[in-house]
A and B are shown apart, each in its own frame.
Chain A
Amino acid sequence: MSDGILLPVVDDDGAPFWEGTLRGELRMQRCSECARFRFPPRPMCPWCHSTESEWPVLSGRATVWSFVVSHPPLLPAYAALAPYNTVVVALDEDPSLRVVGNLVSEPGAPINSVDPATIEIGAPVRVVFDRVSDEFALPRWVRV
């Protein structure tokens, strides 16, 4: 655990996502047979049952779908940053692809760096990557 921040427990299905973020890339799982995206990653395509998939790099552009501002009681590392926001953003390539993240004021800024009163559903955002440990970079989002 890095400074008490929860780190992902990586499984086979999700590993390519985290390899991507470490390289500053937002990659999403796409079926090799029928080309449909799916998230969260899983071993089989629910539409065509193929077990082959690829992980193309996406544009990193999205819009805010919803957001929460969290207050204590929280785990200690997060309580120290409260109140902070979490967001769900919908990716431009396929708005049914939604990702949980945070809005930050600039790359590397903390998750409480944006005034919650200014957050709006529908706001366009782009991805930035926050290196939180040796093994992980978390995607976060800044408004464009």
Chain B
Amino acid sequence: MTDLIRDRTAIVGIGCTPFAKHLDGSEKRLACEAIVAALDDAGIDAAEVDAFASYTMEVTEEVEIAKSIGAGDVTFFSQVGYGGGGGCATIGHLAMAIATGQADVGVAWRARKRGSGGRPWASTVVQLPTPAQWTRPWGLLRPSDEIAMLTRRYFHEYGANRDHLANVALACRAHANRNPAAMMFDRPLTRDDYMAARWIAEPLCLYDNCLETDGALACVVVSAERARDCRRPPAYVHSVAQGLPRQHHTMVSYWSADPLEGPAHSCARRLWAGAEFGPADVKVAQIYDAFTTLVPLSLEGYGFCARGEGGPFTDDGAIELGGRLPVNTSGGGLSEAYVHGFNLILEGVRQMRGTSTAQVEGADTCLVTSGEGVPTSALLLRS
């Protein structure tokens, strides 16, 4: 296996705004604030920035960022598609650009006012012909409905149940309760609360769904050599991958041969092929959690357990701090903030630095995933 990118770059700066149901300021301004904070964290001047990577469902373009922060001549810029599936790929694109000499200092970011802004599914002005024409008229309107359809089938095929989903909600909440930056920091959640919660899209209840958040976040990526001169311990980008499997239909992939074998599986094959270690060596994981169901599906996809075993894997505190694989240690999209998973990347970096509010002792590897159920991406970080 070639090692063109393995450990050749590192995330050396992270920055973010507060997370809230409503923040003042435009998404553009919030983006600049997060990016400048990340550059300060790295100890790198904005004039050195020569690469940008973002992902779709982002309103702010790199040309606007660059002129506001005072970036240099930019020689790499990309945007990855499919919204929440693209977050990790932004780091991957920067890693590839820097490792191949296209640029030296890369910035990846996400800025979104989903808390105070509208719900994208509520817009009826733009209705894509496909695949929406085959789902929306009957009332399958929201991502929650789309994932609920897979969740019910998952229960049926593998005997998983609401307690398994509750395990995920409770673990994320417990971690958020340790994190002052989390929106749910001071809101504990019990299993009884979960079971009594109102339905959104049966079998998904309120607590199976992520938060609605305003926030912006950013990462700075440089070469491994340059990383040694930065202010913080580097979080090396060990392996990166994207995944758009054959015969995929994004969130409504009811038409593929095995709808419960999602993009995580094909992404994982590439991810592990580029790594020097395997799932058994991973001490902590940040797994995209727009919905609780995505966590057991991702645990299967990334090889932590067999197909259908993702539910039982979460039992007995296994994914909580102190368990065999703590997941979403800052609270995730379910309890810290929902910003299309970019907070999971920042938390992965903190785990590698040893600065997490739910620090896993001895964590020297971390998996970070982007959204399961859509064309996706993932990272392996190491310290």
Contacts and interface: CB of A to CB of B under 8 A. Distances in A.
B201 interface: yes
B197 to A, nearest CB: 11
A40 B139 contact: no
B140 A68 contact: yes
Interface string A107-133: 000010000100001000000000010
B149 A70 contact: no
Given A65-B153, A66-B152, A66-B153, A88 B254 contact: yes
Interface size class of A (residues with CB under 8 A): 35 or more
Contacts of A97: 255
Nearest to B131: A40
B127 A100 contact: no
B138 A111 contact: yes
Given A40-B130, A88-B149, A71 B139 contact: no
Given A70-B141, A100-B252, A10 B149 contact: no
A68 B148 contact: yes
Interface of A: 1, 5-11, 13-14, 39-40, 46, 65-71, 73-75, 78, 81, 83-84, 86, 88, 96-102, 111, 116, 121, 132, 136, 138, 140
A31 B136 CA distance: 26
Nearest to B132: A9
Contacts, number: 116
17 contacts: A6-B124, A8-B129, A10-B129, A11-B133, A40-B134, A46-B247, A68-B149, A68-B152, A69-B202, A70-B142, A71-B200, A75-B141, A96-B255, A96-B257, A101-B138, A102-B138, A138-B137
A73 B118 CA distance: 12
A66 B150 contact: yes
B258 to A, nearest CB: 10
State the main secondary structure of chain A at its contact with B.
loop
B128 interface: yes
Interface in B249-266: 249, 252, 254-255, 257
Interface of B: 119, 122, 124, 127-142, 145, 148-150, 152-153, 156, 198-202, 247, 249, 252, 254-255, 257
A30 to B, nearest CB: 15
Contacts of A121: 152-153, 156
Contacts of B136: 6
B16 to A, nearest CB: 28
Nearest to A111: B139
Identify the interface centre among A46, A67, A100, A140: most chain B CB within 10 Å of its CB: A100
B255 A14 contact: no
Given A70-B141, A111-B138, A98 B127 contact: no
B254 A86 contact: no
A70 B139 CA distance: 8
Contacts of B141: 6, 70, 74-75, 78
A98 B254 contact: yes
A101 B136 CA distance: 10
A139 to B, nearest CB: 9
Contacts of B249: 40
Question: What 4 A-B pairs have minimum CB-CB distances, sorted nearest first?
Answer: A8-B133, A69-B202, A66-B153, A11-B129
